[in-house]
Structure 1
Amino acid sequence: MSPIRMIILGAVAMILGACTNMVPREKLPYPLTNETFGDPTKVVSIPLPVIATSPNEGATVGALSAFLLHNAKDEVSTLLAPQINYNQNFGTTFSLYGAFFPRPDRNWELNLSKSTKINEDYELRLRDKSLLEGKLETNAFFYRLSDGSARFFGFQSESRKANETNYADQELGFTVSAGYDIVDKLQLVVGERIRKVWIAQGAVQNLPYTRDRFSNAEVPGLDGFVAHAQKLALVYNTLDSRDMPTRGLYAKAAIEWSARFLGSDAGYRHYEAETKGYFPFADARYISVVRLAYNQTLGDDVPFLERSILGGENTLRGYGRNRFIDSSYLLCNLEERIRLFRWSVFDVNTDWELAPFIDLGAVMESLDKAKTKSFEFNPGIGFRAVVRPNIVGRVDLGVGKDGPAIFVGLGYPF
């Protein structure tokens, strides 16, 4: 049976199975449910088509079914979303996404994905802010991935569309951090990460392989690399919600260093500064959001994927991921989140939002060498389905000099 036919039959089957059920809690063991759920538990299944395209991956079609488990307050506290997709570059992909929110100060996410060609992604994210009377926040992220759609265009001075190449980014690593509230609204964060990267043949046949066009001498890290880095940061946060803020300010200043004697293939430092502001109007029906960010990487022979990078669904939404790479970047995002209406879909209360945006950013060797002509101006429009207090589905359409880009995913971009 062809992949397209399998997906069509799968979509039909899920649509026919759409419903709301009350399921005995004993049939939904931890972590699907916990003491905050009622018995029986309300389970809503929502079938959805998957139609997506992005500059790196190309067109993807498929189907998913989202299973939303409601706690005793009728809030979505667990989300499971199995799906099957087809993409001509990666073949058929089977995946399972899960998000668990057992309490406001604790959540987990997992993603399991395997394609018939090259691509795979296994992720686990953990967050807990229940320790030391809520003053200590711990985060952990473990992953193993292979992305056959990765692109490299050269560094800023030679980053032209004509230089586009493809490779498979294969990685294994983890990131852990602990943040302590030293005073109200101010947190000191220490972190540790290890990243092992292999560069292999990609999945996009109509583009040259990156290692055939560039050498490791030109592009450090093209033969693969190991990064072992430690981070120290200060975070000021007055946001009214971690996942869905409507008002407040967020500011972060961080330094991260990587040393050869601790196992890294190169010694370098990252400096990062970011501010975000959320300004509500008309009882939060309109929320103006602004983000300013600066990143700088200093060192010799810094691997290309460890430098300052722009492009993709969370930075410059008119381009694919990792479109622009150099030693520094400057970024500004402006977005107006407009709640159009509230609507109950399959017994789930949902806010439907429109979000016109402007992304403006550039990479450069250093800030004093920034040139006006280097800045990319990406206008666009976003469509959001918001299930409070913690789930956002989004589609963002951005326009850059290479043409339009469409991103489909979960969570706000910032």
Structure 2
Amino acid sequence: MLLHFFKKQSLFIFLLLSVICSHQLKAQDFKDVKEFFTFYPNRKAVQKDSTLYLAKFIAAPVVSYSPETNFGFGTGAKYLFKFKGSGPETRVSNMPLSLRYTLNNQFILYSGFEIFTNQEKWVIEGNLLFRNYPRLYYGIGRDSKKEDEEEYDYYQVLVEPIFLKQLFTRYLFIGAGFRYNQIFNTRIEEDGLLNITKPNGFDGSRAIGIEAATLYDSRNNVLNAQKGWYLEFTHGEYGEAIGSTHNFNLTKFDLRHYFSPIPNSKDVLAIQTLGHFSRGDVPFNELALFGSNQILRGYREGRFVDRDLLAAQAEYRKRFGESRFGAVAFVGAGDVYNSVDDFQFKNLRYNFGAGLRFMVDRLEKLNIRLDWGFGQSSNYIYLGIAEAF
């Protein structure tokens, strides 16, 4: 275990040195590199009409790292734009797309998009995902054992668009959408715990449901907020009558607040509370997963699995003057449980950690992030683009 820890520490130092070495690049050199990967689809139109937003299509090789994937290599693209007729009152729409292959033999195609129409009368958001994904399984419940670890593999297709209309006030949006999530070609260990216990949908499932959604989003920047509130609440009903393999419902909420704790400072304190609650004949792959590169960093995604998850985290984000560099420190806590009666504060598991930031786009405040998260008996490194939340 000690050797494993120092291997991780060496990896962290290597990545840290790589980031520091990049500081030796001249500002103009870095700008030239960034511009090489940036395309401007409406540049000519903007030259004729300065009221238009200069849209950007950024495509570049990407490297990522997380405990679930090991190193991932591929291509990342991000389309940042505003519709014609949108002014400063409309935030920039973000349509990312990433295609990665990892050292754990995983293939991942993903887009999590957020589109604002003119004057933000509508918001269109959602997720598109296709992947084959070996995952570790330890059993269901908060008391699953590390020694029961086994690997299972599956393919996943997820399509989840949500359409929201601005109602009542500037930042409040209400709407609905649908969610299609299919797990197939599942491969499990013949004599493993998953095959012995056979939870609902362990060998594949299909969830098709209608989602009602409410969004309050006053963030000043979608990619890296410095101030504002974000609250997303969704409730989905899934049934065999509309094509699902199981009858169940799924409720999620995501509450965040961003503010500067020091007046006239660029430092940001970000706070998030996250909930996942499922009821009915819930298939295995729709249960809540404890740990990820976004929440409860320091635990493997799915280290603990159950019907419900409640978690919170706080992150202090420090900018070093006018440079592209920054650092963060974070703490969090959470738990999975089977029903509301099972939740107890004494059962919370905690995490903490720190990380570095390098701003690749000053205008959109887009960062490369390198985090080292610690759980109660585990620690992991994360390398990626954009903030954890």
- TM-score band w.r.t. shorter chain: 0.7 to 0.9
Structure with greater strand share of residues = 1
Q: CA deviation at 1:181?
A: 0.5
Structure with greater helix share of residues = 2
What CA deviation, in whole Å up to 9, does each residue of 1:172-212 have, x standing for no partner?
2311111111122211031211111125448xxxxxx3872
* Contact 1:199–1:222 under 8 Å retained in 2: no
Residues 1:82 and 2:61 are matched in the alignment:
yes
What CA deviation, in whole Å up to 9, does each residue of 1:37-86 have, x standing for no partner?
7999xxxxxxxxxxxxxxxxxxxxxxxxxxxxxx9999993332225799
Residues 1:297 and 2:297 are matched in the alignment:
no
Q: Which runs of structure 2 are paired with 1:118-267 in the superposition (5 Å)? A: 118-130=105-117, 133-148=119-134, 150-183=135-168, 184-198=170-184, 200-201=186-187, 209=189, 212-215=192-195, 218-267=198-247
Aligned to 2:353: 380
Q: CA deviation at 1:121?
A: 1.6
Partners of 1:85 and 1:236 in 2: CA distance: 31
Residues 1:396 and 2:374 are matched in the alignment:
no
How many residue pairs match? The answer is 350
Q: 1:338 aligns with which of 302, 318, 322?
A: 318
Partners of 2:102 and 2:276 in 1: CA distance: 34
Q: CA deviation at 1:403?
A: 1.8
Partners of 2:158 and 2:110 in 1: CA distance: 10
SS of 2:139's equivalent in the other structure is coil
* Contact 1:279–1:289 under 8 Å retained in 2: yes
Q: CA deviation at 1:363?
A: 0.5
* Contact 2:310–2:334 under 8 Å retained in 1: yes
Q: 1:98 aligns with which of 77, 80, 88?
A: 77
Partners of 2:204 and 2:101 in 1: CA distance: 22
Give the TM-score normalised by structure 2: 0.78
Amino acid in the other structure paired with 2:80: F
Aligned to 2:10: none
What CA deviation, in whole Å up to 9, does each residue of 1:21-45 have, x standing for no partner?
879x9x99xx9322247999xxxxx
* Contact 1:124–1:141 under 8 Å retained in 2: yes
Partners of 1:234 and 1:92 in 2: CA distance: 36
Partners of 2:65 and 2:355 in 1: CA distance: 24
Q: 1:32 aligns with which of 16, 39, 56?
A: 39
Q: CA deviation at 1:127?
A: 3.6
What CA deviation, in whole Å up to 9, does each residue of 1:145-189 have, x standing for no partner?
1122x1111111441211211122311231111111112221103
Q: 1:407 aligns with which of 372, 382, 388?
A: 382
Q: CA deviation at 1:107?
A: 2.9
RMSD between aligned alpha carbons?
3.7
Partners of 1:20 and 1:292 in 2: CA distance: 36
Aligned to 1:319: 299
Amino acid in the other structure paired with 1:296: F
What CA deviation, in whole Å up to 9, does each residue of 1:356-405 have, x standing for no partner?
11110001112221134421110111212233314221111111133211
* Contact 2:272–2:314 under 8 Å retained in 1: yes
- The runs of 5 or more residues in structure 1 that have no matched partner are 1-10, 41-70, 203-208, 344-349
Q: 1:399 to 1:84 in 2, by over 3 A?
A: closer
SS of 1:156's equivalent in the other structure is coil
Q: 1:151 to 1:182 in 2, by over 3 A?
A: same
* Contact 1:82–1:95 under 8 Å retained in 2: yes
Aligned to 2:87: none
Aligned to 1:353: 326
* Contact 1:36–1:102 under 8 Å retained in 2: no
Q: 1:397 to 1:38 in 2, by over 3 A?
A: farther
Partners of 2:252 and 2:72 in 1: CA distance: 35
Partners of 1:116 and 1:406 in 2: CA distance: 15
SS of 1:318's equivalent in the other structure is coil
Q: 1:357 to 1:75 in 2, by over 3 A?
A: farther
* Contact 1:161–1:402 under 8 Å retained in 2: no
* Contact 1:153–1:161 under 8 Å retained in 2: yes
Partners of 1:240 and 1:112 in 2: CA distance: 28
Q: CA deviation at 1:93?
A: 6.4
Amino acid in the other structure paired with 1:368: D
Aligned to 1:111: 98
What CA deviation, in whole Å up to 9, does each residue of 1:111-137 have, x standing for no partner?
223468742122345442125x43011
SS of 2:302's equivalent in the other structure is coil
SS of 1:214's equivalent in the other structure is helix
Amino acid in the other structure paired with 2:205: F
